């Protein structure tokens, strides 16, 4: 039961985007479509759970003075793997996400979970936490991307739902903030009901 609670914390109760308000910059920048949100979410999930595993395995061998730089090097290694893999296999998505893939290294969700959870727990719990937080992050990005894509272009995942022009503002930065605010309010209301 304890591992299941750790896994589901990132979905609603401790959702990194809507509740903890972490990773706001890539969240607002890349969610112009549901596909971009899904791609960024999955890339971050991979980095999050892999770095959590490695950090929890080597935590006792890392001196306190170099703990954060060591965490960044571990995270950067997995970011490089996902960056090169996306460039090779999903090049259009890689081009669409651009600089935000390498910036996963400094994403406060990844570094925060490494410091707050993986450095203090065993490998299994760190894996479960990384996967749960990553899936919660992915769900948030897909939700935001879907709403923005639907309102801005009457489509979801590139498929037209309504044959009409959308509201351009929702594809631009102001629309990102508007959608983010409404979804955050909805998630906070939901998380209060789940307490």
**Residue 13 falls inside a structural domain:** no
Contact 79, 102 (CB under 8 A): yes
Compute the distance between CA of residue 105 and CA of residue 162 in angstroms, rounded to an integer: 38
Compute the distance between CA of residue 52 and CA of residue 110 in angstroms, rounded to an integer: 8
Domain, as residue range, for 78: 2-8+39-182
**Residue 22 falls inside a structural domain:** no
Q: Mean pLDDT across the stretch 144-165?
A: 91
- Tens of pLDDT, residue by residue over 74-128, are 999 999 999 999 999 999 999 999 999 999 998 889 999 999 899 999 999 999 9
- Stated pTM of the model: 0.92
Would you place residue 27 in the very low, low, confident or very high pLDDT band (cuts 50, 70, 90)? very high
**Residue 31 falls inside a structural domain:** no
Task: Reply yes or no on whether the pLDDT at 53 is more than 80.
Answer: yes
Task: Reply yes or no on whether the pLDDT at 2 is more than 80.
Answer: no
pLDDT, residue 166, reads 84
> Tokens in use for 187?
């998630």
DSSP assignment, residue 155?
Answer: E
Compute the distance between CA of residue 12 and CA of residue 8 in angstroms, rounded to an integer: 8
Q: Mean pLDDT across the stretch 152-157?
A: 92
Query: Cα dist. 81→25, 35, 72 in Å?
Result: 22, 20, 14
**Residue 16 falls inside a structural domain:** no
**Residue 21 falls inside a structural domain:** no
**Residue 23 falls inside a structural domain:** no
Number of domains in the chain: 1
pLDDT, residue 157, reads 93
**Residue 174 falls inside a structural domain:** yes
């Amino acid at each position: 039961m304890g591992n299941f609670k750790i896994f589901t914390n990132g979905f609603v109760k401790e959702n990194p985007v809507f509740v903890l308000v972490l990773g706001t910059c890539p969240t607002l920048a890349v969610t112009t479509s549901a596909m971009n949100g899904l791609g960024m979410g999955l890339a971050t999930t991979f980095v999050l759970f892999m770095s959590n595993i490695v950090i929890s395995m080597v935590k006792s061998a890392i001196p306190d003075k170099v703990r954060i730089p060591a965490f960044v090097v571990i995270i950067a290694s997995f970011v490089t793997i996902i960056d090169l893999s996306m460039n090779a296999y999903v090049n259009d998505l890689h081009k669409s996400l651009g600089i935000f893939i390498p910036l996963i290294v400094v994403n406060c969700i990844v570094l925060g979970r490494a410091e707050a959870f993986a450095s203090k727990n065993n490998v299994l719990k760190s894996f479960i936490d990384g996967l749960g937080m990553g899936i919660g992050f992915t769900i948030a990005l897909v939700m935001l991307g879907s709403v923005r894509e639907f309102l801005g272009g009457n489509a979801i995942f590139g498929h037209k739902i309504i044959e009409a022009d959308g509201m351009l503002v929702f594809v631009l930065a102001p629309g990102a903030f508007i959608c983010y605010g409404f979804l955050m309010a909805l998630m906070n209301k939901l998380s209060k009901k789940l307490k």
